[in-house]
Amino acid sequence: MNDTPLKQPSYKHWQLATDIDKVLWLTIDRADERVNSLSLEVLSELDSIVEGLETNPPAGLVLQSGKPGSFIVGADVREFDAYDDADEASEGISRVHRLFSRIEALPFPTIVAIDGLCLGGGLELALTFDYRIASNVEHTRLGFPEVQLGIYPGFGGSARSIRQAGASNAMSIMLSSRNLRARAAKAMGFVDELVGPHGSLRWAARRAVKQGRKSRQPGPLTRLQNFAPVRNQLARVMRKKVTARANPKHYPAPFELIDAWERYGDDPRRMMVEESVRVGRLITGETSKNLRRVFFLMERLKGIGKQANLKIRRVHVIGAGVMGGDIAAWCVLQGLDVTLQDRELKYIEPALKRAKSLFKKKLRERSKVAGAVSRLLADVDGKGIAKADVVIEAIFEDVEAKRELFASIEPRVKASAILATNTSAIPLADISSALKKPGRLIGIHFFNPVAKMPLVEVVHDKKTNVGQIKKGAAFCGLIKRFPLPVKSTPGFLVNRVLSGYMAKAMTMHMEQKIPLEVLDQAARSFGMPMGPVELADTVGLDVCMKVVALLGGEASEKEAALLQAKVAAGKLGKKSGQGFYVWEKGKPQKDSTAGGHHDLGEISRTLLQPYFDACESALADGIVEDADVLDAGMIFGTGFAPFRGGPLHYLKQQEQNHD
């Protein structure tokens, strides 16, 4: 294959090379950026390139990425804030529509070679080409993440994805923001051809150009989904499913998408018009602005996890309870070898069983599940300590037990290893003082359930070695968790904030006789993912009892006594099957008749006041670096309503609205 480039115009973000067969290879390689995104400048250059193609058409066009293992991650989110006016935003979207329609109308074969992330605007651009080829490797993913930013696909994606994959497939991907592996994307119709890990995308793309390949359209039964009677019924089902997990007042984007499709799904041109109007309105709304803020907060936490180069192969976890066992399983899922220690094998076996269930759910393929199982070993004698790159203590919350444990294992741990405790509230100094080198101990505090909660607190104090903090954060990044550096004070950040919030719920229940279900409903009406009572059951009432006792003092004696009575009766919450609620199949059984007439707005204001007070006091005490980091911690650690942009950001907005 001769790819000797012929002379082409020079661009900042695009490279053009015409081979001897007059096939134009168009490579996107955004300058000074780690990944490709579609900024206004990138799109402006693409417009100029398309104009040249219309004037001097090649034999064929292949779009590829110059970033190894990455295609296009979407539009440049950083530019969204430039739009304050909905009409102006709509006109900007319409300009992209016109550009993409010109690409779609090019009178020669157009092929896309996808390797790596092809998301949002990147997938929308790919859908304008005749034929899509993807590398069938682990790092290739396709999807529409826009609803996470409070919008829906705005570069023609709502119309073209439905045309390409059928309404049911396309709407499910857009509404869920779920990323597809290459094979699943092909099964749905987003991709036409797969190339294995040892194949060549370039050869496949060249062949597709030579043969003038075009993507297959959905069959008649799939196209039937777009006709009005069927479309209306499907829209009702979609709306019901989305409503079960999102309040339309809080998250309007998915409902705008459903409404647009229900009305105009059989008219692609009108779908485009609706896209520009509705997405223009959404992108300038408060929900989208706040969700973009959450996106940037997430990126900041990810950045904290990349501040140190770290090579980790082996992890040793001491304590095979719910937290310890689940931490071990999660580390295995990220490709690490893990040894799990407890006093006897009978305490480790339930954790191994839970881990295998998690592996089956996440990995699916039998060979991958078997590989994961083989990397998690029971280790009653603690032989793995000496070889481990990370040692995590996750035994019960007793300071003397933890001190004794660390004193005994310190001589056996590698000098280069990370030494960490998963304590949820005990000050680091109370544990590290048992060590000869107290500065090497950090807190790596996971949250329950480990496989779902993305935040990990990296706890440090004045004696902690700065290098250990960076290594702890890098370890969190390595296992796909967001590290939040916090100073060691009782409860750290997340539990410090949650303790008063959950105690307030118990007080309101005991003193004002407000039903538990109503308290949870009030919190959800504000935008929390679950109420404080359900949250306490999920965390574990034994853990809550110790946190409330430690942080609440005499002011929380009644609440601590209530929790103590539950724990004494064996009612630990979700993990024991009963706490404040009875739990069946992982779900709390709530009394649907417990509502009555209550002012949910007033209840939520009273309920959340301790939450806000604790956030402000934690910031004043310097528990975290700044207000943005605190907001990130509360969003990813407690699920604080993302559409509100974080607790401190919300309070600031409330003050501005009252001025």
Cβ–Cβ under 8 Å, residues 471 and 620: no
pLDDT of the residue at 7: 56
458 and 505 in a single domain? The answer is no
Q: Establish if 256 belongs to a structural domain.
A: yes
Give the chain's domain count.
3
Cis peptide before 449 (omega within 30 of 0): yes
- In this prediction, the residues of the chain whose per-residue pLDDT falls under 50 are 1
pLDDT of the residue at 614: 95
pLDDT of the residue at 231: 94
150 and 218 in a single domain? The answer is yes
312 and 249 in a single domain? The answer is no
596 and 486 in a single domain? The answer is no
272 and 412 in a single domain? The answer is no
Q: CA-CA distance, 620 to 624, in Å (whole number)?
A: 9
pLDDT of the residue at 659: 64
For 574, the domain range is 495-622
CATH number for position 460: 3.40.50.720
Q: Establish if 148 belongs to a structural domain.
A: yes
Cβ–Cβ under 8 Å, residues 496 and 624: no
* φ and ψ of 168, to 5 deg: -65, -50
pLDDT of the residue at 39: 97
pLDDT of the residue at 491: 87
Q: Does the annotation count 143 as an active-site position?
A: no
411 and 339 in a single domain? The answer is yes
Q: Establish if 484 belongs to a structural domain.
A: yes
pLDDT of the residue at 307: 79
93 and 229 in a single domain? The answer is yes
Tokens (6 digits) for 491: 């409860």
- Which position among 122, 124, 473, 503 bears the catalytic label? 124
215 and 322 in a single domain? The answer is no
34 and 167 in a single domain? The answer is yes
Cβ–Cβ under 8 Å, residues 124 and 153: yes
Q: Establish if 92 belongs to a structural domain.
A: yes
CATH number for position 139: 3.90.226.10
Cβ–Cβ under 8 Å, residues 162 and 126: no
- Which position among 92, 116, 121, 154 bears the catalytic label? 121
245 and 260 in a single domain? The answer is yes
pLDDT of the residue at 35: 96
Q: Establish if 628 belongs to a structural domain.
A: no
Q: What is the pLDDT of residues 393-413, one digit of tens each?
A: 999 989 999 999 999 999 999
102 and 237 in a single domain? The answer is yes
The reported pTM is: 0.91
pLDDT of the residue at 153: 97
- Identify the domain boundary among 224, 251, 284: 284
Under DSSP, the state recorded for 190 is: S
Q: Establish if 124 belongs to a structural domain.
A: yes
Tokens (6 digits) for 273: 């018009």
CATH number for position 579: 1.10.1040.50
Q: Does the annotation count 121 as an active-site position?
A: yes
Provide CB contacts within 8 A for 285, sequence distance 6+: 150, 252
Q: CA-CA distance, 407 to 416, in Å (whole number)?
A: 17
- Identify the domain boundary among 590, 606, 622: 622
pLDDT of the residue at 6: 52
Q: Establish if 642 belongs to a structural domain.
A: no
- Which position among 89, 122, 146, 417 bears the catalytic label? 146
Q: CA-CA distance, 150 to 503, in Å (whole number)?
A: 33
Q: Establish if 655 belongs to a structural domain.
A: no
Which residues are bridge partners to 348 per DSSP?
A: none
Q: Does the annotation count 146 as an active-site position?
A: yes
576 and 608 in a single domain? The answer is yes
Q: Does the annotation count 400 as an active-site position?
A: no
